[in-house]
Structure 1
Amino acid sequence: MVAAAAEVSTAATASSSPPAEEGERRDESESDGEMAGLAAVLDFDMLCASVALSAERRKAGAALAGAAGDCGGGGGGVQRMWEGDVVLDCLDDRRIALETSCCPCYRFGKNMRRANLGSCFLQGMVYCILLAAVLISLIAFSVTRHHIYLYMGIGSVLLIAIYTGYFRRRIRKQFNIRGTESSLDDCVLHLICPCCTLCQEARTLEMNNVQCGVWHGRGDTICLGSNGAGNKAFAALNKASLVPVKSPGLCGMDRSSSAADEQQPLVPPDQLEQV
């Protein structure tokens, strides 16, 4: 009897163990499926986040490049122009015209310093040496009548035109100023009328507040301790007009009214007759 009971209990345990094992396996498979789904969702979220981050980085890089182009003078698609005509507007700023006529070396050096194309002293010294070579050659030719000095003077003049024309072209390219692709026009302008051409370059750089190669534009022009006629005219044009404004009376219960206001009817008599 005892043996039979043991066999019956063993059989019952054996018959009940497969469903329990199947339940455990089902729970394990469900948990594995949930983990796999969670991992897939996390992978998709990470992919979306990485794509969004890369897009934001590209946008930020493009914005920084555009800002650097605007500030640095490249301007991208912004097509700028020279301030005034070379000859007709030469006397618009008399201070610049006087500096260019009396000391073109100093004016050229200041232009190069504003455009960040070299030191003012170095560029002015080079221009001064070339001018001195022209003057010495002409004086030597007038004294000795040797044609070699005349050729040296002509060569020095051409060298000045090429040198200044090269830097005029660099200014045009740096700030995207309208002009031809060739440097020949710039050299010809400095050869025919060097003072007027220097005046145009100086007007463009000063009126647009170019400092250390950065084109600030007319909107945020800063006057740096200069009392020239051009700056005075600019300040007069941009002077704020003062308009007196009368403050309205206080609308309160304790406002004092005159006798005329108290006797004046609220509705005009004409409207009363029409009614």
Structure 2
Amino acid sequence: MTGNGPFEIPDHVQGAVTPLSQTLVTNRRGSTVWDVRTPTGRAAVKLGYPSQTHSWTALAPAREATILRQLIDPEEVLFGEWEKGTWSAQPWQEGQSLYALWEPHRQANGPAAPSIGEALSCAAALANLHERGWVHGDVQPNHLVIGPARTALIDLGLAQGGEIPEIYDFEYRGCLVHYEAPEISQSVLASGTAVPTKEADVYALGASLFISATGRRHVPYPDDADRKDQRQAIVDKPHRLINLPGTLGTVVKEMMRRYPADRPTIQEVCENLDLAAA
């Protein structure tokens, strides 16, 4: 059963979460997300449902919840099923997305050099996930939330690295194409699926830093190109010239090397950015 949403929080989910107030955050690609204030704090409540192009989106909230329960206090994460798919509730992450925070750098008269410290905080969040044995699989600017105390890497619905209940699992079919590494795009074109890797995460973070600072995708293709054509462009074309100033530009260029083995690890990225920030 598909639908366009946004969907209201079902009664049985409200009974579990006990909202005092709720604000719609987003509704797209098979997911309705609410910012909910509860007696114990603030939560992100996600309702997954089949989109017009994918059925797996209905399972994504529960899949993400089972991953989060392996990374944070399990009692802070709730999940279950509703009539169109699965739902989850998890702690709200305070802050701005990388893309929103770096908006001034995309303006004609804005500051030229993005913050090395903010870039480092994004890399550190990814490094923490990798060190715990997980691959994110969907690194993008809106999944990097830079807050007053920490930077959080959110939306782990496509992550791999631990036990996932079979009833909530699904094959990895790539991520948002604007940030896909060439080898991921090539695999999806060839077989419909791919294997997310740490190397592809590093590439995606580089592409995320680049687009957030410049407003340009890592590979040029028409805005109205379908996903197959977008992926073919990523496979066939070199990425755009990395023209970010200073150390950040040098590091991002290395992160976006075409061949996975040539890219630095995320720990090496952190070390280089940390030296520049000192």
More helix by share: 1
Instruction: Select the structure with the greater relative contact order (CA < 8 A; seq sep ≥ 6).
Output: 1
Q: Normalising by structure 1, report the TM-score.
A: 0.23
More strand by share: 2
